[in-house]
Amino acid sequence: MGTPEFARVSLGYLAENKFNIIGVVTQPDKPAGRKMILTPPPVKIYAESENIPVYQPLNLKDESFFELLKNIAPDIIVVAAYGKKLPENILKFPKYGCVNVHASLLPKYRGAAPISAAIINGEKITGITTIYMEESIDTGDMIIKEPLEIGEDETYGELHDRLAELGGKVLTKTLEQIKSGTAKREKQPEEGASYAGKTDNAVCEIDWGQPAQKIHDQIRGLSPVPAAFMYLDGKKLKIFKSRISSDGIIELLEVQPEGGKRMSAGDFINGRKNESRDEREGSVFKFAR
């Protein structure tokens, strides 16, 4: 059970390692792009390419879906970024339970946006945790924890891709241990537990009164989506890449003006008439040429 690219990578690892995947459950196709074309999620595209049956229920609580589950009779359900909470009857159905691949070192950063939260909060290390699922979100017993260092300037997109690969590897190891009866269960401590909710506009808008490192972490933790932003001359400017100079000023490297395309900061300056205004002498940031 999974939907976006993060889950697609885990599914790929299961297929490559010859696990018997009897079905994939993913969210319904959704409109995407400026033309709002109905688009299948990455997990569906991959599953169909591997001739794996795909199911896209609108509601997991429907009796028809539970009947389907009983008919296909999975030994275990793997969940990776599915996007919906599983009801109790599904969690308790498989013989070996439901296992979740989570992109943090639990109990830190339970919830929907653990990768962004780790970067925004200036963490140096994150990782993957596989758990046995229970009704409350991301609180189940841990099976395997695998750490991963976060690069000094690494963005959400870059870390997401590395964690997706690690998630596939850890999941494979987890299922092999469950199959052989060697999997361990470790209760999550409540000490140090935190929750990473979905990002919103309040998280994305830059407060230039914050320390330079805090702003740099915010920019990279939201890049490429949903993207940190500021207002310049009354118009929204998204910021995708930055660095901190030796004198502590934030240099903006890649931006996207309102109604425009993503570009280097140098190209952005060159496209503006009054370049001197963009130097922002004495400010906490400047556009890198």
Going by pLDDT thresholds of 50, 70 and 90, the confidence category of residue 62 is very high
In one-letter notation, the amino acid at residue 35 is K
Q: Do the beta carbons of residue 75 and residue 95 sit within 8 Å?
A: yes
103 compared with 274, residue with greater pLDDT: 103
**Residue bearing tokens 């004495």:** 282
pLDDT at 269 over 70: yes
* Coil/strand/helix, residue 246: coil
Q: Hey, what domains does the chain have and what are their CATH numbers?
A: 5-180 (3.40.50.170), 201-287 (3.10.25.10)
Percent of the chain with pLDDT over 90: 87
Going by pLDDT thresholds of 50, 70 and 90, the confidence category of residue 84 is very high
pLDDT at 107: 98
Q: How far apart are CA 31 and CA 39, in angstroms?
A: 6
Give per-residue pLDDT as tens, 103-126.
Answer: 999 999 999 999 999 999 999 999
Q: How far apart are CA 49 and CA 39, in angstroms?
A: 15
| Sheet strands (E) in 170-276 | 228-232, 235-244, 250-257, 263-264
Q: Which of 96, 238, 272 is nearest to 178 (CA)?
A: 96
Q: Do the beta carbons of residue 229 and residue 219 sit within 8 Å?
A: no
The total of other beta-carbon atoms located within 10 Å of residue 215's CB is 22
* Coil/strand/helix, residue 99: strand
Give per-residue pLDDT as tens, 164-206.
Answer: 999 999 999 999 999 999 999 999 999 999 999 888 878 999 9
pLDDT at 281 over 50: no
Strands 98-102 and 77-79: parallel
* Coil/strand/helix, residue 184: coil
Q: How many CA atoms lie within 13 A of 219 on its CB side?
A: 30
pLDDT at 274: 57
Going by pLDDT thresholds of 50, 70 and 90, the confidence category of residue 133 is very high
pLDDT at 276: 47
Strands 54-55 and 24-25: parallel
String of b and e for 165-175 (b: at least 16 CB within 10 Å)?
A: bbbbbbbbbbb
The whole-number average pLDDT for the span 54-69 is 96
Structure tokens at 177: 């241990």
Q: How far apart are CA 54 and CA 26, in angstroms?
A: 7
Judged by average pLDDT, the poorest of 4-13, 51-60, 206-215, 265-274 is: 265-274
**Residue bearing tokens 């060159």:** 270
The whole-number average pLDDT for the span 35-49 is 96
β-strand partners of 131:
100, 142
pLDDT at 279: 52
The secondary structure of 23-58 as a DSSP string is: -EE-PPPEEETTTTEEE--HHHHHHHHTT--EE--S
Give per-residue pLDDT as tens, 241-254.
Answer: 999 998 889 999 99
